[in-house]
Amino acid sequence: MPYELFEGKGNVRKPRLKKDQEFFDRAKKKLGFPEELDLVTFCAAVALYKEHIGESLDKKDNLSLKEMAKMYSFKKRKLYDFIILNRLEVRENRLEEFEKYFYAGFEILKEWFEQYGPDVTSEIERFCGILDYIIGSSLDD
Amino acid sequence: MKFVKLKLKNFKPYYDKQDTQKEIILFDEERKDKNITLNIGPTGHGKTSISEAILWCVFGDLYYKDWEDLVNTLSIEVTKQKKENEVNTSVELVLEIEGEHYRVIRSGSYDIRNGQKMGESELFILHNGEPISDSIWFIGNHFPTLTLMKYFIFDADDILKKFEENREGTIKDHINKIVGVEKLNETINSLEKVMGLYNEESREIESGIHGDIADKIKEKEVDKAKKEDAITQLGGEIQDLRKEKQRLFKASPSSEVIKFSELVDKRDELEKKTLELNKRFKESNIISDMDLLLLDCVIGDVLKKLNQKQTTKEEFESSSTVIKSSLGENYSGIFFGKKKNTHLIKKGARIWDEDLADLEKLSLGSGEGIKIPAIETFKDYEEKANKQKETFGKYEKDFDTTMKELLKVKNEIKQIGDTTKNKELKEGYKKFRKLEKQIVGKKNLQEEIKEEIEEIEKDIKELRNQLKRDEEQEKEIEQIEEKKKETQILLYISKKTREKFLDDLLASVNRTASESLRSTVKDTDRFHSIEIDSNYKFKVKQKNGKVLEEGQINKGNLQISMMSFFFGLSKYLRKKIPYVIDDPLLRLDPGHDKRLIEQLSKTNDQLIFHLIPGKEYTTDSFKWLKPYINIQNWLYREKYRGLELVSYVESKDVEKIVYFDIDKF
């Protein structure tokens, strides 16, 4: 049985809504991500982690997204696809599933920025704050 | 001077038979008016050995340095037979000088074991039976040098042969020897070398002189003055800064102000540190993989799950079909040992249950057929995630520490009270410290300039020394120039002396030689004079002054002319020493020999001729020699007791010709 990542779908997408778009751009800049894809994967990872530690996720259907990058430029596609396949055991429409996780994470990130964002001035501090917010304690714990 | 007697002991062919060797009489004092001594004997009978014996007797080892063939061979053999090691050799020459007799004795010992002389030979001179006190002085006073002695004791045949081979070269050689020009030439050469050395020395000194030193010293002094000005200027600036400092805080700032300022500085420093840390973090390329920090535990969980997943029935069956078709007819199965080694099971082979228990189950993959690639991918990312965790952990720790410190500092500042007054005071203190720093900076600059001045002073000192050395060297050159002048004068004098000596010698030799020539040849109009010019050209002139061309002079006359020149040279030496001449008549034409001898006889010098019987001593020559013969010695050679040939001498009646049997010789 031939295997194709995310069933051979062609594109990675990002939020389409203006408000979301603005936050997406701001977050990318504030966190210092070189690529938009870096923010996408970070958001997905946030959501996957939350679910992994047993927190409930608000996964939305019918997301309003727009094309952002071609699939071949998504270097970590294999990792995310395998996680969805093997960890979540989703066999059909895995890219859509990935997008749901991305957006759920995107929302969490938005929450943090809304609460703590204005007081933080540097990238490293933001990451420390976000990770602390998500994990709840230091990485060393 | 006359050579009267000669006694040879174990010298060359003359063997001493227990000291019974007869004396060779060289001058019969009963016949004083006759001045020719004849020693007659064929070649190899000991004629030349007589000449050599005289030279060794007078000049010793200076003449016979290594005694090669000096000691009689028979005496060596006899000494060996007697089982002795030493052979005594001696020559005794009796001289007559102004009516007085002197016995000159030269003796030495020869070691037959190593074939060498035993030390230097010894010289004794006895006068009336008593040794004279200074024998060396006696020799020096009565004889010329060994080189010049060769103008009295020589081989005429040899001399003529050399003249014929290279006339000008031989003439030049003789003249140089006689005049001592060789020595003068050596002196001139040495002086020229000295001149060369002086030139070289002054060139070398000149190359070490630096003409622009005085200018350099001036430049350095100007530079030094500028730097000294700069120090003074800096001193003024420091004073101004101090005044400004005093204006800010009359006394020193209070401890509160200092503490507050330090805390603010610390805060600024920590804020700067966080900025730098963030900058490094942004540049570190780890931001792109921040997701892996969160995925770390997810990946670990998936990996665990994948590893536990069992193979489905369909998967196992389809894999087994593939394996079976590969195994062929000889093998029934395949299994993997715990050490991951693969074993083929032969058909009919039995595998015990306990062996099977050790085997691993064959896992072919997940239900999707991607278990293996997924595991690889997850393992890969698990590794990356760990690295990311480690790297970020460091940044986080660093950031956290800095932030905590910053917070602490900020709190302290708050406690002191970040009031306007404090801020102003802080600003004042900041200025105060800035001024202090400026003062320190200027002081340091002053120190640096002072060090530079010290260096310049050192340079000036060195340059002044160099200037002094230059002056000394210039003086040295002046001195060398003086020496050069003196040497040039010496060179001039030496060259002039050589020229003068040469002129004097040539005038004297030409005169004597011309006289000799005229009294020897028949046609005195044609062969009137001999002239050697300053280029050593040998010319024979006619009475009318015309020079005879080469082809106009026959061989006989040429020989006579040359012999005349040669005797002219010896006359120049003005020593009344007997002539001992080997083969004087061998090369001369009949007639010329007679005339030459007659001419030489007139000088009243003792002439000792070594003649070869049959060639020089003939019935004819005896007739014209007879009136001048003082003594007639015949040299014989015979086997001593049937052993070796030795020479002996017998004096014969001078009035009678001795007939000899040529075959006997």
CATH of the domain at B12: 3.40.50.300
**Residue B653 belongs to a domain:** yes
Cβ atoms of A60 and A100 within 8 Å: the answer is yes
A with B: how many residue pairs have Cβ under 8 Å apart? 107
Shortest CA distance to A82 belongs to which of B373, B363, B290? B373
Q: What are the Cα distances from residue B533, in Å, to A73, B32, B499?
A: 115, 39, 12
The answer to which of B110-114, B340-344, B414-418, B426-430 has the lowest mean pLDDT is B340-344
In a domain, A87, yes or no: yes
Q: Is A111 on the interface with B (CB under 8 A)?
A: no
Q: Are strands B24-25 and B607-611 parallel, antiparallel or unpaired?
A: unpaired
Nearest Cβ partner for A125 among B287, B305, B399: B399
The helix-helix angle for A36-52 and A94-115 (nearest 10°) equals: 90
- Asked if the model's pLDDT at residue B558 lies above 80, the reply is no
Tokens of B383: 């590794």
pLDDT tens-digit series, residues B345-401: 777 666 555 555 444 444 433 344 445 566 778 888 888 999 999 999 999 999 999
Percent of chain B past pLDDT 70, that is, above it, reads: 89
Query: What's residue B18's pLDDT?
Result: 64
Contacts of A92 in chain B (CB under 8 A): none
CA angle centred on A33, ends A32 and A36, rounded to 5°: 140
Contact B287 A34 (CB under 8 A): yes
Tell me which residue has tokens 């260096």: B455
Is B267 within 8 Å of B410 (Cβ atoms)?
A: yes
The verdict on residue A58 lying in a domain is yes
pLDDT in tens, B183-222: 778 888 999 999 999 999 888 888 877 778 889 999 999 9
Burial label for B358, CB within 10 Å (0-12, 13-18, 19+), is exposed
Tell me if B595 sits within 8 A of B524, measured CB to CB. no
Residue B663 has pLDDT above 70, yes or no: no
pTM of the predicted protein model: 0.48
Cβ(B526)–Cβ(B548) below 8 Å? yes
Distance CA B617, CA B625 (A): 9
Is A125 close to B374, i.e. CB distance below 8 A? no
For residue A137, pLDDT over 60 is answered with: no
User: Which of B275, B289, B298 is most worth mutating to test chain A (most A CB atoms within 10 A of its CB)?
Assistant: B298
Residues for chain A: how many in total?
A: 141
Can you tell me the distance from the alpha carbon of B412 to that of A68, in angstroms, rounded to the nearest whole number? 49
The ipTM assigned to this model is 0.92
Residue B324: half-sphere exposure toward Cβ, Cα within 13 Å: 6
Dihedral over Cα of B500, B504, B505, B510: its sign = positive
Shortest CA distance to B317 belongs to which of B329, B309, B325, B328?
Answer: B325
Q: Is residue B287 situated within a structural domain?
A: no
Query: Do the chains contact at B368 and A83, CB–CB below 8 Å?
Result: no
- Report phi then psi at B581, rounded to 5: -120, 125
Judged by DSSP in three states, A22 sits in helix
Alpha helices in chain A (DSSP H): 18-31, 36-52, 77-82, 94-115, 123-135
Residue A97 CA to residue A48 CA, distance in Å, equals: 11
Residue ending a domain, among B332, B364, B396, is: B364
Angle (nearest 5°) at CA B182 between B178 and B186: 155
> Measured between alpha carbons, how far is B557 from B128 in angstroms, rounded to an integer?
47
pLDDT in tens, B591-634: 778 888 887 787 778 999 999 998 899 999 999 999 999 999 99
Q: What is the pLDDT of residue B166?
A: 82
A141 domain-assigned: no
CA B4 to chain centre: 55
Domain's final residue, options B364, B381, B398:
B364
Q: Which of B364, B387, B406 is the last residue of a domain?
A: B364
B67 inside domain: yes
C-alpha angle with apex B550: B546 to B555, nearest 5 degrees? 115
How many domains in chain A?
A: 1
A56 in a structural domain: yes
Task: Confirm whether B269 is domain-assigned.
Answer: no
Q: Can you give the pLDDT at residue A2? A: 40
DSSP code of B65? S
| Domain carrying residue A88 | 5-135
Furthest-apart CA atoms within chain B: distance in Å: 161
- Cα separation, B229 vs B573, in Å, equals 87
| CB B239 within 8 Å of CB B232 | no
State the residue range of the domain holding B599.
1-152+575-665
Residue numbers in B near A45 (CB within 8 A): 290-295, 298
For residue B370, the model assigns a pLDDT of 46
B370: chain A residues, CB-CB within 8 Å: 3, 82, 85
Using CA atoms, how far apart are residues B61 and B67, in angstroms rounded to an integer? 8
pLDDT for the residue numbered B123: 94
* DSSP-based three-state secondary structure for B24: strand
Buried b (16+ CB within 10 A) or exposed e, A60-70: eeebebeebee
A96 domain-assigned: yes
Share of chain A above pLDDT 70, in %: 90
pLDDT band at B313 (very low <50, low <70, confident <90, very high): low
What are the tokens at B90? 């001696």
Contacts of A83 in chain B (CB under 8 A): 295, 298-299, 302
Structure tokens belonging to residue B288 = 């792109």
Entry field: residues in chain B? 665
Residues B132/B126, Cβ–Cβ less than 8 Å: yes
Decide if A124 touches B, using CB distance below 8 A. Answer: yes
Alpha carbons B648 and B22: distance in angstroms, whole number? 8
| Rounded Cα distance, B640 and B539, in Å | 53
What is the distance between the alpha carbons of residues B628 and B621, in angstroms, rounded to a whole number? 12
8 Å CB contact between B590 and B507: no
Residue A7's pLDDT band (cuts 50, 70, 90): low
A25 domain residue, yes or no: yes
Q: Is residue B52 pLDDT above 80, yes or no?
A: yes
Inform me whether the C-beta atom of residue A137 falls under 8 Å from chain B C-beta atoms: no
Of B282, B291, B370, the CB nearest to A45: B291
Q: How far apart are CA B613 and CA B628, in angstroms?
A: 18
Listed in sequence order, the residues at least 6 apart from B364 whose beta carbon sits closer than 8 Å to its beta carbon are B311, B315, B316, B319
A36 lies in a domain? Answer: yes
CB B35 within 8 A of CB B628: yes
Least confident of B49-58, B134-143, B622-631, B638-647: B638-647
Letter for the amino acid at B278? N
Name every residue whose Cβ is closer than 8 Å to that of residue B114 and which is 6 or more positions away in sequence.
Answer: none
Structure tokens at A91: 């066999």
Q: B335 falls in which pLDDT band (50, 70, 90)?
A: low
Whole-number percent of chain B with pLDDT over 90: 37
Q: What is the pLDDT of residues A118-130, one digit of tens each?
A: 888 889 999 999 9
Nearest to A35 by CA among A84, A9, A70: A70
pLDDT at position B415: 80
What residue in B sits closest to A90 (Cα-Cα)?
A: B368
B508 within domain boundaries: no
Cα–Cα dist B263/B256, whole Å: 11
| Residue A83 falls inside a structural domain | yes
Compute the mean pLDDT over every residue in chain B, rounded to the nearest whole number.
84
Q: Render pLDDT for A83-108 as a digit per residue (tens, 0 to 9).
A: 888 778 777 788 888 999 999 999 99
A78 touches chain B (CB under 8 A): yes
| Structure-token pair, residue B205 | 């000194």
Q: From the list A33, A123, A138, which residue is nearest B288 (CB)?
A: A33
Number of domains chain B contains: 2
DSSP B383: H
Residue B138 makes CB contacts below 8 A (sequence gap 6+) with B102, B125, B132
A122: which chain B residues are within 8 Å (Cβ-Cβ)? 274-275, 278
Chain A residue closest to B374 (CA)?
A: A82
